[in-house]
Amino acid sequence: MPDIPEILLTDPEVLHDPFTAYGPVRERSPVAKLVAPGFGPMWAVLRHEEARKMLSDPRFALGANSYQRLDVPDHCRPYLRTMQEVEGPEHLRLRRLVSPAFTPRRADALRPGIERIVDGLLDGLAEEDRVDLVTDFARPLPVDVICALVGIPEADRPRWREYGTAVAAGDGAALMKAVPGIVEGSLAAIAHRKLEPADDIVSQLLRVQAEDGDRLSETELVALVWQLVLGGQVPGNLIANSIETLFAHPRQLAELRADPALMAGAVEELMRWRSPQLLTIPRYTTEEVRIGDVLIPEGEPVTVAIAAVNRDPKAFHEPDVFDIRRAAGPAWHLAFAHGPHFCLGASLARVQTEVALNALLRRFPGLALMDGPPRIPDPGAWRLHALPATLHAPVAN
């Protein structure tokens, strides 16, 4: 057995810049052990090719400990079991039923509605000088989009923004209050759409019926809404990370402003460069599995270090260079994972990010970030707590 390197997740270098910190370890070994005080060791795949294979290998299966269990009222629990937590035929069935509502074509068809939501948020900021682009823009946007897709009444949407903030925080009394609110609001929206269908995802999924007559149950529909709320943290964090990254690369920011057609490719590079998710959901080996020259025993938790694989020089040319014109190559970033559990809302997240960045840069040419945006130290996610900015250039005397 080779000497397995260890990565301390609470190491300041890992918390400050995991994208760089993982690099030397990745060159030594295809896998490492992640350790932290009070946290049992977990294997992490660090190289791109091995990560793609692992995420598609049924010998790595979701387990009871893959997900955090929330302390919520008993009547809410059935609604929180999403398709991300299930495997095999059950997962295939759910994915088959819901995937048509989340294709790239469907996401692009939603673009005009997302543009209206983005413009509404920016209209509310237009007269301000100083704003927080996390709390005022990036975080509420995905929640507003979800509300539109689900059919949440306008009067209830401020409350859903509060739910989104609670979910982003990840714990506490606010989250325990948010979960029943999301369940009850989703049930009400589904009941309304059964009577008055519209052009939204809930209406579409209520119409979906497989050739064998199978369709989603009401509980499965609510679970899907919960999955969308959880997944909504990704575009929110991605938008904030993207703004920070672009302003740290002024030449490429200028190119993007001059040619908005570069935005789709830029978003792919932004996901590769600063993925909001640093680690995939842990899976457990169902038997001994060899990765490279490392033998992982049965029953061990294994994750993919997205921050490492997206900077793998064997997969990407000059991976430590940020380049919005990066040509698509044989390898693709794993910001949305890979395999059967590839992120359902990936296309929706891409469109939201493209629309948000294009509108923000177009409408506020004087936008400037203030020094030192606070980042939340989190070994599992790369996210900003705030992003203070001025929207308008100072007026010359």
List the domain range (segments joined by +) for residue 121.
6-390
Q: Using an 8 Å Cβ cutoff, are 203 and 193 in contact?
A: yes
Q: Is residue 219 part of a domain?
A: yes
d(CA 35, CA 238): 26
The DSSP code for 99 is G
Is the Cβ–Cβ distance between 269 and 323 less than 8 Å? Answer: yes
Instruction: Please report, for residues 4, 54, 314, the alpha-carbon distance to residue 280 in angstroms, rounded to integers and kept in the order given.
Output: 20, 11, 20
Report the pLDDT value the prediction gives residue 211, as an integer from 0 to 100: 57
pLDDT tens digits for range 141-192 = 999 999 999 999 999 999 999 998 888 877 677 888 899 999 999 999 999 9
User: pLDDT band at 397, cuts 50/70/90?
Assistant: very low
Contacts of 188 (CB under 8 A, 6+ apart): none
Are 83 and 98 contacting, i.e. CB atoms less than 8 angstroms apart? yes
State the residue for tokens 């960045």. Answer: 357
Mean pLDDT (whole number) for 106-120: 96
DSSP codes joined into one string, 157-178: HHHHHHHHHHHHH-SSHHHHHH
In terms of average pLDDT, the best of 94-98, 189-193, 350-354 is: 350-354
Q: Is residue 1 part of a domain?
A: no
CA distances from 286 to 59, 124, 196, 302 (A): 5, 52, 47, 11
Residue 396 lies in a domain: no
Backbone angles phi, psi at 392, to 5 degrees: -125, 140
Q: Are strands 31-36 and 39-45 parallel, antiparallel or unpaired?
A: antiparallel
Separation of alpha carbons 165 and 187, rounded Å: 21
pLDDT digits (tens, 9 = 90+) for 317-333: 999 999 999 987 777 89
Residue 209 sits in a domain whose CATH number is: 1.10.630.10
Q: What global pTM score does this model have?
A: 0.93
Interval 71-84: pLDDT, tens: 788 899 899 999 88
- Res 374 pLDDT > 90: no
Mean pLDDT in the chain? 91
**Which of the 8 DSSP states describes residue 381?**
B
> With 0-12 CB in 10 A as exposed, 13-18 as middle and 19+ as buried, what is 181?
middle
- Of the pLDDT bands very low, low, confident and very high (cuts 50, 70, 90), residue 265 is very high
Task: Give a yes or no: residue 395 inside a domain.
Answer: no
Bridge partners of residue 369, in order along the sequence: 389
Structural domain total, the chain: 1
Q: For residue 119, is it within any domain?
A: yes
User: Would you place residue 343 in the very low, low, confident or very high pLDDT band (cuts 50, 70, 90)?
Assistant: very high
Residue 10 belongs to a domain: yes
